[in-house]
């Protein structure tokens, strides 16, 4: 074989490999795993709140080892979808350790949240973090904090609550939004 024939064969082999890697994913194949949640500390949390200024915001602190958190999370995913058209933003923050990242990944894949999730930065002073988030929080979970569009805490839940209570709290933060008078009324009764 000549050098030119070998070189042509190598180039064809490399081109075929490049084309194969660009092929769309086949139906039935699992999607690629989501990237790990970005780590966050107290300063990062403050920056996060600034990003959402002007929107009603619900922030939920959860962990895979917290059974009430696991039970409540799918409801939060549904509520995020339900209230997104009205301008409510939802953010999740995992309080899991690095050693639990495989559980966190599986949990997020299973629940398909349509909102961003972060995780507490390993090695931070958790008491200081709790105080920066909500001075009334002592670390019990789940913890959900409701922020008005101007970034102030309007309320929080320690522990899980029924859907109706969440809906009522979300409507309350929506009522404080700058466009509250323009939004259609959501009615008085909960589902």
Q: Which CATH number do you get for residue 96?
A: 3.40.30.10
Distance (Å, whole) CA 34 – CA 45 = 21
Decide if 63 contacts 94 (C-beta within 8 A): yes
Beta strands 117-120 and 88-94: pairing type? parallel
What domain range includes position 82? 37-175
Query: 52-101, pLDDT tens digit by residue?
Result: 999 999 999 999 999 999 999 999 999 999 999 999 999 999 999 989 99
Tokens of 134: 């909500």
With respect to residue 134, please indicate whether it lies within any of the assigned structural domains. yes
User: What DSSP character marks residue 98?
Assistant: G
Count: domains in the chain: 1
- 164 is a domain residue: yes
Residue 17 lies in a domain: no
The average pLDDT across 141-164 equals: 94
Answer yes or no: is 20 within a domain. no
Report the DSSP pairing between strands 153-158 and 56-62. Answer: unpaired
- The answer to whether position 181 is within a domain reads no
Asked if the structure places residue 182 within a domain, the reply is no
Lateral strand order in the sheet of 38-40: 38-40, 117-120, 88-94, 56-62, 143-147, 153-158
Whether the per-residue pLDDT at 1 is higher than 80: the answer is: no
Q: Can you say whether the dihedral through the CA atoms of 153, 52, 110, 95 is positive or negative? A: negative
In a domain, residue 186? The reply is no
Token code pair at residue 108: 């997020």
Q: How many CB atoms lie within 10 A of CB 93?
A: 23
Structure confidence at residue 29 (pLDDT): 64
Say if residue 115's pLDDT is above 90: yes
Within 10 A of 175 (CB to CB), how many other CB atoms are there?
14
pLDDT over 70 at 45, yes or no: yes
- What is the average pLDDT value for the chain, to the nearest integer? 83
Rounded Cα–Cα distance for residues 42 and 145 (Å): 15
Is residue 12 situated within a structural domain?
no
Bridge partners for 93 per DSSP: 61, 118
pLDDT on residue 86 = 94
pTM of the model: 0.75
């Amino acid at each position: 074989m000549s050098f030119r024939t070998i070189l042509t064969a190598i180039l064809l082999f490399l081109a075929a490999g490049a084309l194969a890697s660009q092929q769309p994913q086949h139906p039935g194949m699992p999607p690629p795993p989501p990237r790990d949640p970005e780590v966050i500390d107290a300063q990062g949390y403050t920056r996060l709140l600034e990003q959402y200024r002007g929107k009603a915001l619900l922030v939920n602190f959860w962990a895979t080892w917290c059974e009430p958190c696991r039970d409540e999370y799918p409801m939060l995913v549904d509520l995020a979808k339900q209230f997104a058209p009205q301008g409510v933003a939802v953010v999740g923050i995992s309080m899991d350790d690095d050693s639990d990242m495989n559980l966190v990944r599986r949990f997020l894949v299973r629940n398909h949240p349509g909102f961003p999730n972060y995780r507490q930065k390993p090695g931070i002073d958790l008491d200081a973090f709790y105080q920066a988030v909500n001075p009334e929080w002592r670390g019990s979970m789940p913890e959900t904090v409701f922020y008005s569009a101007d970034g102030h805490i309007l309320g929080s839940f320690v522990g899980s609550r029924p859907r109706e209570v969440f809906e009522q709290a979300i409507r309350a933060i929506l009522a404080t939004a700058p466009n509250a008078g323009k939004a259609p009324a959501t009615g008085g009764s909960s589902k």
